[in-house]
Structure 1
């Protein structure tokens, strides 16, 4: 896309109307447009990766999925010059719009999104009751860079105890001390107060920094944390419990996806081929030797077989990887046989599905004009500040200005393994009604009753998330046809303790609003109930449980469907080297291998998994790791 068209597209999104690029440029001095163009050409060396036209019949390694893990693996394996690597991605490339941090919500339900939805609830598990069809949307990136192109760019590593717990479950090499070097290997931290300590680093491919812009409410959020007895700290550092300004994967005011971080710098490596718009339908496995020797994929409506001399690495994500494995005969025997799929290895693929879930739309009202509203910040002036200076509101990390990790009464007594995470945003559901309804799937009747009355109000929101759910779900095939989406049953709230922990988290969020820091702005909760919850009094346990089951909200962190574990674990799909049990030369490298979900956003841990797996693959093929 030309810079002229890019400016026009950013303007379209910024002001919410159709703007002709030429008309838009007419509002700006010609020299400014010229300087902008020269800045992108002269100072942005990150030309987009090359989409190879002709795929070879054979490579040493085939990486399936170019997302948060797959982009890392392909980049790192191609560092070995005599290895040939093919990266296969079902989607296309990023766009200039996906670069703009504040526009992340506009990418969901777009061609860059697989647009998955959960299965409707059942008698045992009631959730998403305020959504159209009682289904929650589950965005997943169908684009080079995967969900790192759609997400809010929040950089959180999880808790050190998460990884120590992985190791205690029989996964040697996955303790916190083992994985910390891989977090640091990726990182190029550009906040000086963070970069020069034992927990962060500079010079990696992945840029991490705070947004250069925030509202006054972000400072109130930190002050509120102190009032409640929490420290303001780097939650990616020595301890996690506390409040912080969000760290994000952004660079020069723009999104830093894994495609931008790991693939653009190596785009000219002759041993790395990237095939976009190519959907893998099956892993080819020799029926007698049980060796994975190739993949079937569809590209330009034509099927193609590509062979792998060394290994196939599945990095299609917590939904895509189990789907492709099951289509290939790796999965629960009874389930595969019911679909007449020959079983190559009977493993519990698709089980153990975990996600971070919470209450959406927890809204607070303030009197001062300081919140992030569409009418105030989506203007031509704001767009030009971003285009010319890479600053201003459009650098906001999907609107998430602050994070907190807090302890309910159900958390371990040490206080070092918090069980609730807050995402703080100086805006709310009412800020952009059409887009919010599109993303969340909220019924019109629910939105109009609960949030439309706030159309002109100044509001902010807190999203309380359950960090370590006891309830687990499952991914199942609906058909042998690869184009048919699998059944996604998250089984939210089947364990009553999950609901109880969330209710405690909601009450802590109410306490945040009640602090002196927020009372300066006369903050108070929005109390109009969901239509299905009118029979309950506000702030009773029954009221909050009903609200949670209606506006069930996930920030799209599915994990654990190809569980890593020892051979003695009947639920394990891969071992600690991420090799699939019973199949040679096949690994899974993405969020699906997590034995238990991490206590925090999953993008950074998934990148870490890609880094660590790349070194393990090199070691297993005789490459010395320095």
Structure 2
């Protein structure tokens, strides 16, 4: 009898220990913020109030801007995607490739392929591209701030506000330490140690992943918002800005039209209590000019070719967009390496970043993972992103920046890699660990 009880007790103890471990993990894990002001667009209809500011796009610009404005004004944020919280493909470092490889219609990453065959993704989630990218954090260079005409003092005062929530100094382990040594050995100098500042040389920068592997996105900055002064609607896809023209010297925006996840059409309006009310577009580098064109603002001939009424002829809308060249080297390894994203970087005197991630395996990822990683290296025909119907997607021609010829550099740029290389690498990397430089 004793032997039978003992044999039953062992699995019971194991179950109890597992339960305790799970409860401990749940208590100590990263808990999502309780944003009472974030709601489904389909649950708020119709909007019975007007707003001082309507922000289209809740990404890396929209979230901090909304949080700041809510201290004094009534703010509405319209985000076409959902929330990042509760999605381990977004929140966990080890799942980084999975979101980019997810091409389902409701994926946080909206995949698109330019006419050059370049695979890329647009964020479709609260927090924007900070939910999809490799999480490296660095400050802007003083030269960049001056070139844009920003107030340098205010910029420097803003950094700690952001960094207190999203930025972390990573614990540099074996692989990233080797990268750091290699960069210094080939002359990416000086050694700048750990710093968020943009300085030529080699440094350990910041990461929006904490040391437990949890991602902290721009959506986390909404914790600064006044919950009484802000409303964030998710799955709210804005289609058009509404303008008044009658009796106006020039058109004046007064609201937006958007659809919810069920396809129902809604409108949101600016308040008339102040002349400073504004609609702010922060829908991304592609989304913002696209929305302007859909609203009748852009090159007249281009809009007319799609039967869009011209409200304002502006040839600059959508112009000047360029894509930076990226060159990746895959280093397959039959043995596991540490999982790391961008922590150590080399910033060259000619402005490029040399960075490295490691430890991700091709086994178990979506079939197109390697293609996603190598998308930017797909064949280039006329080296531009060519316009499509603005009602559907990209709204102009965006030239690819040609690399400047640089002498005495330590790295060779690789071009002419064809799309079939992506499929070849996918089969090569299956079951193997790899590093991307």
> Is TM > 0.5 for Structure 1 vs Structure 2?
yes
Name the counterpart of 1:353.
321
Pick aligned residue for 1:278 from 217, 226, 236:
236
TM-score, normalization by structure 1 = 0.55
CA distance in 1, matches of 2:65, 2:153: 21
1:411-450 matched pairs, under 5 angstroms: 418-427=350-359, 431-432=361-362, 435=365, 438-441=368-371
Residues 365/298 of structure 1: CA separation in 2 closer, same or farther (3 Å cut):
closer
Note if 1:159 corresponds to 2:141: yes
Please state whether the residue corresponding to 2:83 is helix, strand or coil: coil
1:350·1:474 contact (CA, 8 Å) conserved in 2?
no
1:350·1:476 contact (CA, 8 Å) conserved in 2?
no
2:319·2:398 contact (CA, 8 Å) conserved in 1?
no
Deviation track 1:527-576 (CA, whole Å, cap 9, x = no partner) reads xxxxxxxxxxxx7x8xx333499979xxxxxxxxxxxxxxxxxxxxxxxx
Pick aligned residue for 1:145 from 127, 134, 144:
127
Please state whether the residue corresponding to 1:422 is helix, strand or coil: strand
Shift of 1:236: 5.4
CA distance in 2, matches of 1:475, 1:334: 16
Pick aligned residue for 2:337 from 371, 384, 397:
371
CA distance in 2, matches of 1:252, 1:239: 22
1:141·1:147 contact (CA, 8 Å) conserved in 2?
yes
CA distance in 2, matches of 1:79, 1:476: 40
Residues 91/28 of structure 1: CA separation in 2 closer, same or farther (3 Å cut):
farther
Shift of 1:241: 0.7
Note if 1:247 corresponds to 2:117: no
2:78·2:233 contact (CA, 8 Å) conserved in 1?
yes
Shift of 1:244: 1.9
1:239-388 matched pairs, under 5 angstroms: 240-251=199-210, 253=212, 254-259=214-219, 261-264=220-223, 266=225, 269-288=227-246, 289=248, 290-299=251-260, 300-309=262-271, 310-347=277-314, 348-360=316-328, 362-364=329-331, 369=335, 371-372=337-338
CA distance in 2, matches of 1:84, 1:178: 23
Pick aligned residue for 1:84 from 49, 60, 74:
74
Note if 1:546 corresponds to 2:416: yes
2:67·2:224 contact (CA, 8 Å) conserved in 1?
no
Q: Which runs of 4+ in 1 moved over 6 A?
A: 548-552
TM-score, normalization by structure 2 = 0.77
Residues 364/432 of structure 1: CA separation in 2 closer, same or farther (3 Å cut):
closer
Name the counterpart of 2:110.
114
Pick aligned residue for 2:20 from 8, 31, 54:
31
Q: Which runs of 5+ in 1 are unaligned?
A: 1-24, 121-134, 168-173, 189-205, 373-392, 408-417, 448-462, 465-470, 510-538, 553-626
2:290·2:394 contact (CA, 8 Å) conserved in 1?
yes
Shift of 1:180: 2.6
Deviation track 1:215-246 (CA, whole Å, cap 9, x = no partner) reads 41221222223323312215855661111234
Shift of 1:272: 1.0
Q: Which runs of 5+ in 2 are unaligned?
A: 1-13, 272-276, 423-437
Residues 69/307 of structure 1: CA separation in 2 closer, same or farther (3 Å cut):
same
Deviation track 1:346-387 (CA, whole Å, cap 9, x = no partner) reads 221111112332212x134779x5624xxxxxxxxxxxxxxx
Shift of 1:333: 1.6
CA distance in 2, matches of 1:475, 1:75: 36
Shift of 1:500: 3.3
CA distance in 1, matches of 2:323, 2:355: 15
Shift of 1:311: 1.1
Residues 34/364 of structure 1: CA separation in 2 closer, same or farther (3 Å cut):
closer
1:210·1:246 contact (CA, 8 Å) conserved in 2?
yes
2:180·2:345 contact (CA, 8 Å) conserved in 1?
no
Note if 1:187 corresponds to 2:163: yes
Residues 550/322 of structure 1: CA separation in 2 closer, same or farther (3 Å cut):
farther
CA distance in 2, matches of 1:183, 1:551: 41
Pick aligned residue for 1:492 from 397, 400, 414:
400
More helix by share: 1
2:319·2:397 contact (CA, 8 Å) conserved in 1?
no
Name the counterpart of 2:426.
none
Name the counterpart of 1:478.
389
1:117·1:488 contact (CA, 8 Å) conserved in 2?
no
Name the counterpart of 2:6.
none
Name the counterpart of 2:344.
402
Residues 327/182 of structure 1: CA separation in 2 closer, same or farther (3 Å cut):
same
Please state whether the residue corresponding to 1:435 is helix, strand or coil: coil
Shift of 1:486: 2.2
1:119·1:489 contact (CA, 8 Å) conserved in 2?
no
